[in-house]
Chain A
Amino acid sequence: MDIIFNQLTHLYHPKTPFERIALKDINLQISSQSFTSIVGETGSGKSTLVQHINGLLKPSSGSIQIGSISIDSRKKVSNLKELRKQVGMVFQYPEHQLFEETVLKDICFGPINFGISEAEAKRRARWAIKQVGLDTDILSRSPFDLSGGQMRRVAIAGVLAIEPQVVILDEPTAGLDPEGRKDIMSLFKQLHEDRQWTTIMVTHSMEDAAYYSDQMVVMDKGTVAMHDSPENVFIQIEALKKLGLDLPQSMQFLRLFYAKQDLKVIKPVFSIEDTADEIIRALKTVRKG
């Protein structure tokens, strides 16, 4: 599902003394089935941007097109329910939004709310819980008796059960330990591929942006400063520095490595494996040269 921002501006507290431009004339096209990371300093407009995609915020001017649904600042929004069925959102700390007595009821809440029959909702819940790597036994338990990692998976299953085509992840690994972080990110990567999602992830982690996404949007003071592949974004070292962003650790290391020999090589390398290969290649080349 393509997402197109068309000259979209968003003002907070419009027509009051507190008026502030949160997004300024955004033109952006996010392609169907891409995995796009949104990065930028706190206050650059990342969350405001994604909240337009599922209709949590309405543009002050301009419009946004999500598949066949359009939200235009000049028109009344009519098909919000349909939009939220298509666009699932995993907030920061999704486990804080669990509220039902059982895991089953919690997962079924979304689908039933969107007019799916109870039988179908239950079928989806059983399917979704397996997708997130949990046992169906857990469905009868209270969500509040689960561990933090399990709770987060249950919350994700709730989004899955709506069968969205677009999924927004707002810092999905916040507060998890390293193993939990790796597990959840591989789960999203897997689901992204299996379910052919269009995935949009807001993140502060340059490592996750580099490693998991195929497109990046760099936000700066309410505008889109860059929109390109991670490879093309991360070679713009000076520009990123001005925007207050770091390089992924792999590239920081390579920079330090090359700088020791006064070499100014910039390679977009993100995994440990590729970093090691690049180092070995460089050592051989320098030796020959």
Chain B
Amino acid sequence: MKQKENPIIDVSNVYYRYEKETNWILEDINLTVYQGEWLAITGHNGSGKSTLAKCLKGLIMPEKGTISVLHWDTTDKEKLWDIRRTVGMVFQNPDNQFVGATVKDDVAFGMENSGIERQEMLKRLETSLKQVRMFDYVDREPHQLSGGQKQRVAIAGIIALEPSIIILDEATSMLDPEGRKSVMKLMRHLNKENNITVISITHDLEEVIHADRMIVMNDGKVIKEGKPRDLFQSTNDFEKVGLDLPFTIKLRRCLKEKGLEISDNALFEEELVNELWTLYSTN
């Protein structure tokens, strides 16, 4: 049983900007992330999503407000390395985060930096690469791998450090459909089986609808927060903030406009299909 009530990250009144006297990139952000949940963060390009993610990993510090990760304050220099190890981050471009000469080196790099002893390192190298199904590629060089495979190696490097949280910063947006599916499948597994909290920054609304919870950002602020089902039922202005709607929602609205008497409940394709055929059989 998952413990979705235990806060793991707490963001309180956070403000951030690149330089003094300029506009806020993040403005009064308040947010709690719960252990074991899958939280999707969406919003158009430039809405502040990635900046927020960097704050959560302690890569940048807020100008005002506080962020705590597992009760450690990100401004506490003594805890910074613990925070960075507990929060893993997968970036957008698979080529920019591959640092090793081979798959093995790449996964070992992070562990060496964290001072993990050799015996333990070899053990973790094997388990993490097996988990991402890349153990057969242990001696391969990056140019021999597809984008999806590189991202899975990046994830192996992260899970080898046994993090509590993994942030996906548009980690599948540069992958082909096959690569995207393999990375998402792996992350769902890590979320469910290893109880790793996932924070996914994404434009892909078909991914968002499967999240436990979502937040929508616009101009540096959190403008919506809730379960995808609730938000997509009640909100009509996603397009106004540069976002698309999931396919099912667009279709059910269009059907309604054309006079079909259907509810605003369906979120997944399966649900809409069932509702349509029920409608047909009861009339």
The reply to whether B269 and A253 contact each other, CB–CB distance below 8 Å, is yes
The reply to whether B179 and A148 contact each other, CB–CB distance below 8 Å, is no
**Docked complex Cα distance between A253 and B269 (Å):** 7
Residues of B within 8 A of A179 (CB): 44, 239, 242-244
**Docked complex Cα distance between A43 and B146 (Å):** 9
Residues of A within 8 A of B283 (CB): 287
Residues of B within 8 A of A260 (CB): 273-274, 277
The reply to whether B242 and A280 contact each other, CB–CB distance below 8 Å, is no
**Docked complex Cα distance between A102 and B13 (Å):** 39
Give me 4 other A-B pairs in contact (C-beta within 8 A), A43-B146, A180-B45, A246-B177 excluded.
Answer: A42-B176, A178-B244, A253-B251, A276-B251
* Known contacts A260-B274, A275-B251: A280-B92 contact under CB 8 Å: no
| Residue A176, interface by CB 8 Å | yes
| Residue A149, interface by CB 8 Å | yes
**Docked complex Cα distance between A82 and B241 (Å):** 44
Residues of A within 8 A of B147 (CB): 42
The reply to whether A149 and B251 contact each other, CB–CB distance below 8 Å, is no
Task: Name the prevailing secondary structure of the B interface residues.
Answer: helix
Residues of B within 8 A of A178 (CB): 44, 203, 205, 242-244
| Residue B250, interface by CB 8 Å | yes
| Closest residue on chain B to residue A42 by CB atoms | B176
| Closest residue on chain A to residue B260 by CB atoms | A280
The reply to whether B255 and A276 contact each other, CB–CB distance below 8 Å, is yes
The reply to whether B276 and A257 contact each other, CB–CB distance below 8 Å, is yes
Residues of A within 8 A of B170 (CB): 175
B224 to chain A, nearest CB (A): 16
Residues of B within 8 A of A244 (CB): 178
Residues of B within 8 A of A273 (CB): 254
A-B contact pairs, 26 of them (CB 8 A): A41-B178, A43-B146, A147-B45, A149-B45, A174-B173, A175-B170, A175-B173, A175-B174, A176-B45, A178-B44, A178-B203, A179-B239, A180-B45, A180-B242, A246-B177, A253-B269, A253-B272, A253-B273, A256-B273, A257-B276, A257-B277, A260-B277, A272-B247, A275-B254, A279-B255, A283-B279
Q: Report which of A249, A279, A283 forms a contact with B247, defined as CB distance below 8 A.
A: A249
**Docked complex Cα distance between A287 and B260 (Å):** 14
| Residue B46, interface by CB 8 Å | yes
| Closest residue on chain B to residue A283 by CB atoms | B280
**Docked complex Cα distance between A261 and B205 (Å):** 28
* Known contacts A176-B45, A277-B258, A280-B258: A272-B280 contact under CB 8 Å: no
Question: Would you list which residues of chain A between 160 and 192 have a CB under 8 Å from chain B?
Answer: 174-180, 182
Residues of B within 8 A of A257 (CB): 273, 276-277
The reply to whether A177 and B45 contact each other, CB–CB distance below 8 Å, is yes
The reply to whether A280 and B255 contact each other, CB–CB distance below 8 Å, is yes
**Docked complex Cα distance between A186 and B258 (Å):** 25
| Residue A119, interface by CB 8 Å | no
| Residue A286, interface by CB 8 Å | yes
Residues of A within 8 A of B136 (CB): none
B281 to chain A, nearest CB (A): 9
